[in-house]
């Protein structure tokens, strides 16, 4: 019997604000777009993360209805259905939580969920083995720099049997000889020991598809932002501050600007290339698990409103 793949994609924090309408600056959106099979894309939670529970519930419902439809119309067994999940930022945290929920028989068909009567019928009709329900086919989990809401938040079940987890995350090293760890000190990164890992020197947003090249410099943003000012060396630093930032953070950004122009161009180009590499890595790992992806839709790492600056940046970086 042919296998049927389902994909649930959950984008990063605040994706409704930073994702382009065509989704070309979101690796999760592009992955979902290129995926061959039954699929759903969900926006990530807001900055406070209050929507996490609702997103998990919606993802469970979306998965259930797709499984039920495949079983009804394709005439296959539940063992032939492969569930794949990808997520960026807090969407990656949600992906792991979702996998935990789906791997638990009492939560996959849980009475409190919407459509519980239909779920009970589904359980009775299709699930003939408790072992099959307890160990569903969570085939692949792809994480684009997964982060938690708080340092103490629990990721979920990281020892899913038969599941491949791939995690592309931003390189965590002291940045520019400062006391800052990596480019953004305001996120709580997740290290997943049983995942296939790659660390990349780009921003948190860059791992997810948008390095934030044209964001203003402020505490909470990545030090890779304001790229044209960084490259051209224009003395507009004080003009673009949008809120008070720590002296350490400001000094690190200024130190980056003090490098020679060629070095700044090379480093900014590197941030872009590592963003592309993050997506290629997740796609390669997914394909090794039987996931089919058609082509590789365009990657445009900026918002529509920044298009003119993006064209200039692309020309300067020779990308």
Find out whether 149 and 93 touch, Cβ atoms under 8 Å.
yes
Q: What is the mean pLDDT of residues 181-197?
A: 66
For residue 53, the Cα-to-chain-centroid distance in whole angstroms is: 17
The pLDDT score that the predictor gives to residue 133 is: 44
Structure tokens at 262: 């060629």
The pLDDT score that the predictor gives to residue 171 is: 75
- The reply to whether CATH 3.40.50 applies to domain 4-210+280-294 is yes
Q: What is the mean pLDDT of residues 232-251?
A: 47
Q: How far apart are CA 25 and CA 288, in angstroms?
A: 25
Give which of 193, 195, 194, 210 is closest to 271, Cα–Cα: 210
- On the CB side of 169, CA atoms within 13 Å amount to 26
Distance in angstroms between the alpha carbons of the first and the last residue of the chain = 44
> What confidence tens digit (pLDDT) does each residue in 116-141 have?
555 555 555 555 444 344 446 899 99
H helices of the chain, in order, are 15-18, 27-34, 52-74, 90-102, 105-108, 116-126, 130-134, 204-207, 227-232, 247-257, 261-287, 307-317
Contacting residues for 307 by C-beta, under 8 A, at least 6 apart? none
Every domain of the chain and the residues it spans = 4-210+280-294
Tell me the backbone φ, ψ of residue 168, rounded to 5 degrees. Answer: -100, 120
What residues does 147 pair with on adjacent strands? Answer: 189
The pLDDT score that the predictor gives to residue 282 is: 98
The pLDDT score that the predictor gives to residue 115 is: 47
Q: How far apart are CA 118 and CA 122, in angstroms?
A: 6
Q: What b/e sequence results for 232-245 when a residue is b if at least 16 CB atoms lie within 10 Å of its CB, and e otherwise?
A: eeeeeeeeeeeeeb
For residue 33, pLDDT beyond 70? yes
């Amino acid at each position: 019997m042919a296998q049927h793949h389902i994909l649930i994609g959950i984008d990063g924090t605040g994706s409704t604000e930073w994702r382009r309408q065509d989704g070309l600056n979101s690796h999760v959106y592009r992955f979902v777009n290129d995926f061959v099979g039954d699929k759903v894309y969900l926006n990530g939670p807001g900055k406070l993360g209050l929507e996490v529970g609702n997103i998990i519930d919606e993802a469970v419902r979306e998965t259930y209805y797709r499984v039920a439809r495949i079983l009804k119309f394709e005439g296959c067994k539940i063992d032939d259905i492969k569930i794949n999940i990808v997520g960026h930022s807090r969407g990656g945290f949600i992906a792991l939580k979702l996998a935990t929920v789906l791997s638990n028989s009492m939560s996959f068909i849980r009475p409190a969920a919407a459509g519980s009567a239909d779920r009970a019928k589904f359980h009775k009709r299709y699930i003939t083995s408790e072992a099959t329900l307890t160990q569903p086919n969570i085939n692949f989990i792809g994480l684009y720099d997964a982060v938690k809401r708080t340092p103490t938040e629990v990721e979920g079940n990281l020892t899913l049997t038969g599941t491949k987890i791939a995690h592309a995350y931003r390189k965590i090293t002291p940045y520019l000889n400062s006391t800052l760890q990596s480019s953004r000190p305001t996120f709580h990164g997740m290290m997943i020991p049983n995942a296939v890992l790659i660390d990349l020197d780009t921003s948190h947003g860059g791992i997810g598809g948008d390095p934030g090249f044209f964001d203003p410099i402020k505490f909470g943003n990545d030090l890779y932002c304001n790229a044209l000012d960084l490259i051209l060396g224009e003395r507009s630093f004080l003009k673009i501050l949008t809120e008070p930032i720590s002296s350490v953070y400001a000094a690190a950004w200024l130190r980056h600007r003090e490098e020679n122009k060629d070095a700044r161009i090379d480093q900014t180009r590197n941030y872009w290339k590592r963003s592309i590499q993050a997506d290629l890595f997740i796609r390669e790992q997914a394909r090794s698990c039987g996931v089919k992806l058609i082509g590789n839709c365009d990657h445009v790492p900026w918002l529509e409103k920044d298009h003119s600056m993006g064209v200039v940046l692309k020309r300067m970086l020779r990308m």
